[in-house]
């Protein structure tokens, strides 16, 4: 019996020791609580000074020649080889021959018509001397001035209705206008440069049989270009022909001065934009080149320009008052590529100069210079 009692006491003691050890281990596994000191974030801020700011509309546009001519043939013949090859990039001065088509056959028919006209008029001179001696000298002088190798001179003015009927009745007037019509068509075998420029495209080469109505190429004026820029319809009242525009190459190296030359009065129904055409002159520019345009449309009083990232979707910005962030409502006036012009901020107000990740209203902050 004593043995059973001793065993029971030992069992109870063993259980008690096990419970004590387990409790000690559980207590030691708890992580001690460390007091975390609350940190105050530093922010860049700047003091507001409202000013009169210019609203500048920026856009990219492609240059097109101010004057361009699509060359078409009105006659048929073989394209002749001249001193300068008919190729894209070929430069011409005003009145230089761009295209010459073989006109030998047609020129012969023109010479024949002139000869017939001269014969008819010469035959009529005798009758003029008898019936209208007072105008004979005038018509005789006219006949002597006719050269079938040159353009036919203009008919003398009629001094009476009888003279008009007499000359017309002999078919002189009809023959005259037949020759004029043929000479006009003969002139279409040669196309001259209407202004200083260059070929931007050539659709035919020398020796090609050119047909009436065929496209021959494109001729553009050099050095004078236009660029079309879209402008929001809300700015239409601020636009005017002659307004200066600054144009810059996309790499920002070259800058050119331009001006508004035309404003489309119609508004695009889909985009609600109007087209403004800007002219620029420079021998350095080329058709098809892209330029960045900057157009001053209006001035805004009592406004500031801030980074677009500082403006919240709620049309509010953060200000610092007594070391705490607060929100104030502003009125956006114009959005630039990276900035926005706003109104509604009081002078002297301290606003964030750079975005603060996780910024919230009533957050304590420490201001440092931007």
In a domain, 130, yes or no: yes
Same domain membership, residue 293 and residue 320: no
Q: Does residue 82 belong to any structural domain of this protein?
A: no
One domain for residues 246 and 306: no
Do 269 and 249 share a structural domain?
A: yes
Cβ distance 86 to 206 under 8 Å? yes
Check residue 35 and give its pLDDT.
Answer: 47
- Residues with Cβ within 8 Å of residue 55, at least 6 apart in sequence: 235, 296, 297, 298, 299, 300, 333, 334, 341
Please state which of the ranges 17-21, 53-57, 129-133, 365-369 shows the lowest mean pLDDT: 17-21
For residues 257 and 206, the answer to whether their CB atoms sit within 8 Å is no
Residue 344 lies in a domain: yes
276-300: pLDDT as tens digits: 999 999 999 999 999 999 998 888 8
| Residue 11, domain member (yes or no) | no
Note whether 311 and 328 are same-domain residues.
yes
Asked whether residue 137 falls in the same domain as residue 178, the answer is: yes
Average pLDDT over residues 165-182: 92
Q: Is the model's pLDDT at 6 over the cut of 70? A: no
Last residue of a domain, one of 299, 331, 346: 299
Q: How far apart are CA 358 and CA 175, in angstroms?
A: 94
Region of 230 on the Ramachandran plot (φ > 0 left; ψ -120 to 50 alpha; else beta)? beta
Question: Residue 313's domain is classified under what CATH number?
Answer: 2.40.420.20
pTM of the model: 0.69
Answer yes or no: is 34 within a domain.
no
Q: How many CA atoms lie within 13 A of 85 on its CB side?
A: 6
Contacts (Cβ under 8 Å, ≥6 apart) of 201? 88, 217, 218
Please write the tens of the pLDDT for every residue from 298-324: 888 999 999 999 999 899 999 999 889
User: Could you give the percent of the chain with pLDDT greater than 70?
Assistant: 89
Tokens of 26: 């559980």
pLDDT tens profile 203-262: 999 888 999 999 999 999 989 999 999 988 888 888 889 999 999 998 888 999 999 999
Q: Which residues contact residue 10 at a Cβ distance below 8 angstroms, ignoring those fewer than 6 apart?
A: none
Domain count for the chain, please give it: 3
Mean pLDDT of 133-146: 91
How much is the pLDDT for 18?
64
Best CA proximity match to 311, nearest among 346, 343, 266, 270 = 343
Q: Is residue 265 part of a domain?
A: yes
Domain end call among 255, 279, 299 = 299
CATH number of the domain within which 282 lies? 2.40.30.170
In terms of domains, do 122 and 180 share one? yes
Is 125:140 a contact under the CB 8 Å cutoff? yes
77 domain residue, yes or no: no
Residue ranges making up the domain that contains 171: 104-187
Q: Verify that 279 and 311 share a domain, yes or no.
A: no
pLDDT at 370: 58
- Report, as an integer, the average pLDDT of 20-49: 67
Q: 330 pLDDT exceeds 90?
A: yes
For residue 219, report the phi and psi dihedrals to the nearest 5 degrees. Answer: -120, 130
Query: Is 162 found in the same domain as 111?
Result: yes
71, β-bridge pairs: 217
DSSP 177-221: HHHHHHHHHHHTTEEE-SSSEEEEEE---TT-EE-TT-EEEEEEE
DSSP string, 250-294: TTS--EEEEEEEEE--SPPTTT-EEEEEEEEE-TT--TT-EEEEE
Q: What is the mean pLDDT of the chain?
A: 87
Residue 241 shares a structural domain with residue 167:
no
Going by pLDDT thresholds of 50, 70 and 90, the confidence category of residue 3 is: low
Same domain for 331 and 271 = no
Q: Is residue 99 part of a domain?
A: no
CA–CA separation, 238 and 322 (whole Å): 42
Q: How far apart are the first and last CA of the chain?
A: 91
The predicted structure's pLDDT at residue 14: 63
List phi, psi (to 5°) of 269: -65, -30
Summarize pLDDT for 252-277 with one digit per residue, the tens: 889 999 999 999 999 988 888 999 99
**End-of-domain residue from the set 243, 271, 299:** 299
Of residues 332 and 10, more confidently modeled: 332
């Amino acid at each position: 019996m004593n043995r059973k009692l001793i065993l029971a006491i030992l069992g109870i003691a063993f259980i008690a020791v096990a419970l004590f050890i387990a409790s000690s281990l559980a207590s030691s596994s708890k992580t001690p609580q460390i007091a975390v000191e609350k940190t105050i974030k530093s922010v860049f801020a700047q003091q507001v000074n409202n000013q009169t700011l210019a609203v500048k509309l920026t856009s990219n546009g492609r240059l097109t020649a101010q004057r361009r001519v699509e060359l078409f043939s009105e006659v048929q013949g073989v394209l002749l080889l001249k001193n300068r090859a008919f190729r894209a990039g070929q430069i011409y001065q005003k009145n230089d021959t761009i295209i010459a088509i073989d006109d030998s056959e047609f020129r012969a028919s023109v010479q024949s018509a002139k000869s017939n006209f001269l014969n008819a008029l010469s035959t009529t001179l005798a009758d003029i001397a008898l019936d209208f001696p007072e105008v004979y000298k005038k018509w005789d002088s006219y006949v002597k001035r006719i050269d079938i190798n040159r353009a036919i001179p203009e008919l003398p003015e009629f001094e009476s209705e009888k003279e008009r009927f007499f000359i017309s009745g002999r078919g002189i007037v009809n023959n005259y206008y037949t020759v004029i019509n043929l000479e006009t068509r003969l002139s279409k075998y040669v196309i001259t440069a209407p202004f200083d420029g260059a070929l931007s495209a050539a659709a035919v080469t020398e020796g090609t049989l050119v047909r009436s109505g065929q496209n021959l190429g494109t001729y553009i004026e050099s050095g004078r270009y236009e660029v079309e820029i879209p402008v929001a319809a809300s700015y239409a009242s601020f636009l005017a022909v002659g307004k200066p525009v600054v144009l810059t190459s996309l790499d920002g190296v070259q800058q050119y001065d331009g001006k508004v030359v035309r404003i489309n009065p119609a508004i695009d129904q889909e985009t609600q934009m109007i087209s403004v055409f800007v002219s620029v002159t420079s021998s350095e520019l080329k058709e098809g080149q892209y330029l960045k345009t900057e157009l001053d449309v209006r001035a805004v009083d009592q406004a500031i320009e801030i980074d677009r990232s500082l403006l919240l979707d709620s049309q509010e910005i953060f200000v610092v008052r007594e070391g705490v962030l607060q929100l104030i409502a502003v009125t956006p006036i114009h959005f630039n590529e990276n900035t926005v012009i706003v109104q509604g901020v009081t002078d002297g107000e301290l606003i964030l100069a750079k975005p603060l990740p996780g910024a919230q209203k009533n957050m304590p902050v420490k201001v440092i210079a931007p």
